[in-house]
A = this chain, B = another copy of it.
Amino acid sequence: MPPLLTFARSQDIREADMDGMAALANTPSPRTLAPARSQPPRDDSAGDVFSRLGRSASFSKDAQIYGEGEPADYFYKLISGAVRTYKSLTGGRRQIDAFYRPGDVFGLAHGSEHTLSADAVTDVRVRLVRQRTVEALAQHDCELALQFWTLTREELRRSQGHLDLLAKTADERVASFLLEMAARARSEDEVQLSMSRQDIADHLGLTIETVSRTFSRMESTATIALPSSRNIVLRDRARLNRLNGDAN
């Protein structure tokens, strides 16, 4: 069951303190057509904390943002790009817990030490605030405490959803993945994948070959279309939903 990971990790991390704060902080670059799926209001005042007190940092593709076991000092809000959090397993295997998109906050689970690693799927810009700062402020700012509690609850729900996913068959996992990615994208049925097949495989607990084969099979049954390997069109949502568990 163990997929291998073969990753070149470019280590150049550029940091830029206190630049372009409010301006970019919450602009997920509205793109093309299609009415946006109900997105939660990402612009709560927890975002404010990142703008007011945070600093910015940039990471280039495949650079590590933090690693397991390191002291966990910060909460992160993703401004642009994509991030994956994961745990390294024995034998070079890797379990990717989540992919994050602009507007998402990550690193919420961590106590004094990181239990996960995070790195940049693409070039990335984040804003970060010290956990201690937030915790200290939250002692007297209930609003803030509630916001972070809420963010953490959402993250917990997401994590639990992912658990169910790993109890499913390969087809079901891939279907779930596609539907989730589509739900997060603005475009109705077109999904732009920022991550590799290896990333997807490590997220779904499958091998790269199984993911690829499943995509191919779905294409041959007209469930999806694959204009290019990282561009997927959902052609038969009904079937995907059925696979996903909307009553079999």
- Interface positions of A (Cβ within 8 A of B): 1-2, 87, 89-91, 93, 95, 97, 108-111, 115-116, 135, 138-143, 145-146, 148-149, 152-157, 159-164, 166-169, 205, 245, 247-248
Contacts and interface: CB of A to CB of B under 8 A. Distances in A.
B248 A166 contact: no
Given A145-B149, A159-B160, 17 more contacts: A1-B167, A1-B169, A87-B163, A87-B164, A89-B168, A93-B167, A108-B156, A109-B156, A115-B161, A138-B145, A139-B143, A141-B142, A142-B142, A148-B149, A149-B149, A152-B156, A156-B156
Contacts of A145: 138, 142, 145-146, 149
A245 B90 contact: yes
16 contacts: A1-B167, A87-B163, A93-B167, A95-B163, A108-B153, A108-B156, A109-B157, A115-B161, A135-B146, A138-B142, A138-B149, A140-B142, A145-B149, A149-B152, A156-B156, A167-B205
Contacts of A156: 108-109, 152, 155-156, 159
A120 to B, nearest CB: 20
Contacts of A166: 95, 163, 166-167, 205
For this chain, the copies found in one complex come to: 2
Contacts of A110: 157
Given A109-B160, A116-B160, A248 B91 contact: yes
Contacts of A115: 157, 160-161
Nearest to A204: B167
A244 B248 CA distance: 35
Contact of A1 (B146, B152, B168): B168
Nearest to A116: B160
A97 B160 contact: yes
Contacts of A152: 149, 152-153, 156
A109 B166 CA distance: 19
A107 to B, nearest CB: 11
Contacts of A91: 248
